[in-house]
A and B are shown apart, each in its own frame.
Chain A
Amino acid sequence: QMQLVESGGGVVQPGRSLRLSCAASGFTFSRSAMHWVRQAPGKGLEWVAVIAYDGVNIYYAESVKGRFTISRDNSKNTLYLQMNNLRTEDTAVYYCARISKEYLAAVPLDCWGQGTLVSVSS
């Protein structure tokens, strides 16, 4: 069955960096566009970034643009989120999620990871 497993979360001071990973299995990772979505404690879901199957087309939410970088390694079936210059408002559970299309498309997120918690605090 399809599975996504995030890792790399933790406690970090404001201004520091962190890299999240998302390991995929049970489906052809190289044929799926991938998203990162986050959820601050007690809050709703906020979209962060998306990357197409080949890593060419990438988009970011305005709140993270210029600080976060999404990337993927199809040979390792792994998605990444490099987070630089972290702010307290970046504190959230970060989920990776896939769509069933190679290219960016208006289709649902049909598989989500269990999430990894990032806590930004001094």
Chain B
Amino acid sequence: IQLTQSPSSLSASVGDRVTITCRASQVIGSYLAWYQQKPGKAPNLLIYDASTLHSGVPSRFSGSGSGTDFTLTISSLQPEDFATYHCQHLNSYFLTFGGGTKVEIK
């Protein structure tokens, strides 16, 4: 299964609403997670099962979708949200990740 994220990068301002999409090459139900990665750091889990917010993650982050099309939305971009976001197909093994979306400051 291949995951295609779009866009690969975007520029936005603090307070903007940001949407990132992830498209799977096959139907994967709701088996999708989103991670945030800051430069030089490990990824951190944001959302799993397509829409469940991981413990401690701010409520401005939300996920939606099922089947092949998924979205990550940041309702009001904060300075600490500038990072790269990765989607991942939740699987027992042969995990796959999207190519990443870099969110930069406009």
Q: Please determine whether A44 and B97 come into contact, CB atoms closer than 8 angstroms.
A: yes
Q: Please determine whether A61 and B45 come into contact, CB atoms closer than 8 angstroms.
A: no
Q: What is the bound-complex CA distance between A106 and B41, given in angstroms?
A: 24
Among the stretches B10-18, B68-76, B88-96, the one at the interface with A is B88-96
Q: Please determine whether B94 and A59 come into contact, CB atoms closer than 8 angstroms.
A: yes
Give the chain A neighbours of B67 by CB distance below 8 A.
Answer: none
Secondary structure class of chain B's binding surface, majority of residues? loop
Give the chain B neighbours of A95 by CB distance below 8 A.
Answer: 42-43
**A interface residues, tally (CB under 8 Å):** 21
Secondary structure class of chain A's binding surface, majority of residues? loop
In the complex, which residues 11-63 of chain A have their Cβ closer than 8 Å to any Cβ of chain B? Answer: 35, 37, 44-47, 50, 59, 61
Chain B interface residue number, banded: 20 to 34
Give the chain A neighbours of B44 by CB distance below 8 A.
Answer: 112
Q: Please determine whether A108 and B54 come into contact, CB atoms closer than 8 angstroms.
A: yes
Q: What is the bound-complex CA distance between A27 and B5, given in angstroms?
A: 33
Cβ 8 A contact of B41, one of A45, A110, A114: A114
Q: What is the bound-complex CA distance between A93 and B42, given in angstroms?
A: 10
Closest to B84 in A: A44
- Residues of A participating in the B interface, judged by any CB pair closer than 8 Å: 35, 37, 44-47, 50, 59, 61, 95, 104-110, 112-115
20 residue pairs bridging A and B, Cβ less than 8 Å apart:
A35-B95, A37-B95, A44-B98, A44-B100, A45-B97, A47-B94, A47-B95, A47-B97, A50-B93, A59-B93, A95-B43, A105-B92, A106-B31, A107-B48, A108-B33, A108-B48, A108-B54, A112-B42, A113-B42, A114-B41
